[in-house]
Structure 1
Amino acid sequence: MQWVDIGVNLTDRAFAKDRSEVLERAWQADISQMLLTTTSLEHAHQVLECCAEYPQRLFATAGVHPHEARHWTADSRKQLHQLCNEPAVKAVGECGLDFNRDFSPRPAQLKALEAQLAVAVETGLPVFLHEREASDTLLPLLRDYRDQLSGAVVHCFTADQKALYAYLDLDLHIGITGWICDERRGSHLHPLMRDIPAGRLMLETDAPWLLPRSMTSKPKSRRNEPAFLIEVAHCVAQCRGESLAQLAAHTCATARALFNLPNPA
């Protein structure tokens, strides 16, 4: 079995001292490919340097996270266009709306998101979306762009059935993380897993965050890493009534199709 982790923050400082070892553990755990998330344009170059070390296994997004939206300028769109020409860049993002923390003013979040959706339309790349407590605002905006977008994934989906159905009605993809393994706040996701059609579902760790609470042996650091994707997979497979092999097959095929990833050697 092979797995694709569509959301890894590999350049986070939590991995600064042992990034190579983290990758080796991921390969040993049959994580065949990863999409490394970018949260700012300045951060993108460090992500691309990692991708260059493993050109068939590591790929990247390029964009500005809603937390960083206040830094979006007139030159940001030009910079993003240039980054989207890089072969390793497979999606625009991580972009979206976060009304939970509001680290950037909401008008700034909307301005940066609309600009990035426009770049995705112009480049033909799919969109890697972040949404927290903002689905009522995000959905109308996405409807305006959806026919022009090649595709989009709602990364780290944590919302309710209403939001899920609305995203699926727009033919969006859904990313599931270790949030589903958290009995305190993620159990509402369990019955929703059967509602996500094969071909729309993908798995991610969002490492180094969201360490699955269901792990019986947790690292003392509480740091998540790509090798732990299998814990997410176990929970999702159980909720869907699928075998791990079935889940691996369709989630990997979906990720490779949406992000135009090569079949690994």
Structure 2
Amino acid sequence: MTSPAPLVDIGANLTHESFAKDVDAVLGRAHAARVATLILTGTDMAHSEQAAALAHRHDGLYATAGLHPHMASHWNSTLESAMRALHTDAKVVAVGECGLDFNRNFSTPAEQERALEAQLGLAAESGLPLFLHERDAGPRMREILCHWRDDIGDAVIHCFTADRETLHGYLDLDVHIGLTGWLCDERRGHHLREIVGDIPAERLMVETDCPYLLPRNLPAKLKGRRHEPALLPWIVREIAHWRGESETTLAAATTTTARRFFQLDEEQ
């Protein structure tokens, strides 16, 4: 499927090992589908550096740099200094992926909060927006963001999957929302379908989170494949349906929002 308007995939894990052998072909398919701009997710120092390096090799690619809450126990002053330096790279357009994940607790909640607060400080220092992960930690995340709100700029909760109350709590803090193929999953996406219309167009962005979360609304010939940026138009189609608007309108609005959020040059 080709998007009716250029799209920005705000969360693509192209440094994942599954893309190691064919990233050029993946990017070719993305461009053919009119997924014109990709934000590559950095989840630790190594992947953040890899994402930035890949972004330097290709037009239309940018990167985030941060430490995922699963690995928050690794945060230390050396890592903080390295992240601070990477945030000065012209291709790094956000601090993250950072946040809280109280669902799996691979790092303790205390370690997660410590790493998150440190990265909020880096965002305040650099002026970069925040690319945030939150799972089963909505109340605590909102408390922390409320405390920091006057010091940080824009922030997005990527791959939002929570309930209406959590959504409106983020919107009240002027936080952006990233939606993925979770909405396309008839097994678990029902509650999202009922609330996507609550998200203002200027707060909504779209992402694949590839290679994870392969959409379940794909035609049979595409099912079972690895998720990749070229499949983003299928996610846009599903979101547009549940918002009661055209795919063209949604594609154009999310791209405008993403370009403003990540401070991307219009000509890119």
TM-score with structure 1 setting the length: 0.97
Is 1:32 equivalent to 2:49 in the alignment? no
Deviations for 1:176-222, whole angstroms, at most 9, x for unmatched residues?
00000001111110121110001000000000000001112354654
Is 1:89 equivalent to 2:92 in the alignment? yes
The alignment partner of 1:39 has SS state of: coil
Is 1:234 equivalent to 2:256 in the alignment? no
Deviations for 1:21-62, whole angstroms, at most 9, x for unmatched residues?
11100000000101000000122221111101114x000100
The alignment partner of 1:137 has SS state of: helix
1:182-201 equivalent positions in 2, closer than 5 A: 182-201=185-204
1:33-72 equivalent positions in 2, closer than 5 A: 33-55=37-59, 57-72=60-75
Q: Tell whether the 8 Å contact from 1:6 to 1:255 is kept in structure 2 after alignment.
A: yes
Separation in structure 1 between the aligned mates of residue 92 and residue 126 of structure 2, nearest angstrom: 11
1:16-165 equivalent positions in 2, closer than 5 A: 16-55=20-59, 57-165=60-168
Separation in structure 2 between the aligned mates of residue 139 and residue 195 of structure 1, nearest angstrom: 18
Task: Read off the aligned partner of 1:41 and give its amino acid letter.
Answer: M
Q: Tell whether the 8 Å contact from 2:175 to 2:203 is kept in structure 1 after alignment.
A: yes
Q: Tell whether the 8 Å contact from 2:216 to 2:223 is kept in structure 1 after alignment.
A: no
Deviations for 1:134-191, whole angstroms, at most 9, x for unmatched residues?
1011110000011111110000000000000000000000000000000111111012
Unaligned runs of 5+ in 1: none
1:176-187 equivalent positions in 2, closer than 5 A: 176-187=179-190
Is 1:171 equivalent to 2:174 in the alignment? yes
Q: Tell whether the 8 Å contact from 2:211 to 2:227 is kept in structure 1 after alignment.
A: yes
Task: Read off the aligned partner of 1:161 and give its amino acid letter.
Answer: R
Is 1:261 equivalent to 2:264 in the alignment? yes
Which range is displaced more, 102-111 or 172-181?
102-111
**Cα distance 1:113–1:217, how it changes in 2: closer, same or farther (>3 A)?**
same
Separation in structure 2 between the aligned mates of residue 23 and residue 173 of structure 1, nearest angstrom: 26
Q: Tell whether the 8 Å contact from 1:32 to 1:264 is kept in structure 2 after alignment.
A: no
Could you tell me how far 1:119 is from its partner in structure 2? 0.5
Task: Read off the aligned partner of 1:108 and give its amino acid letter.
Answer: E
Overall identity of the aligned pairs, in %: 50
Unaligned runs of 5+ in 2: none
- Structure 1 partner of 2:10: 6
- Structure 2 partner of 1:15: 19
Task: Read off the aligned partner of 2:21 and give its amino acid letter.
Answer: K
Could you tell me how far 1:264 is from its partner in structure 2? 3.8
Separation in structure 1 between the aligned mates of residue 85 and residue 36 of structure 2, nearest angstrom: 27
Q: Tell whether the 8 Å contact from 2:9 to 2:207 is kept in structure 1 after alignment.
A: yes
Separation in structure 2 between the aligned mates of residue 264 and residue 101 of structure 1, nearest angstrom: 41
Task: Read off the aligned partner of 2:53 and give its amino acid letter.
Answer: E
Alpha-carbon RMSD: 1.1
The alignment partner of 1:6 has SS state of: strand
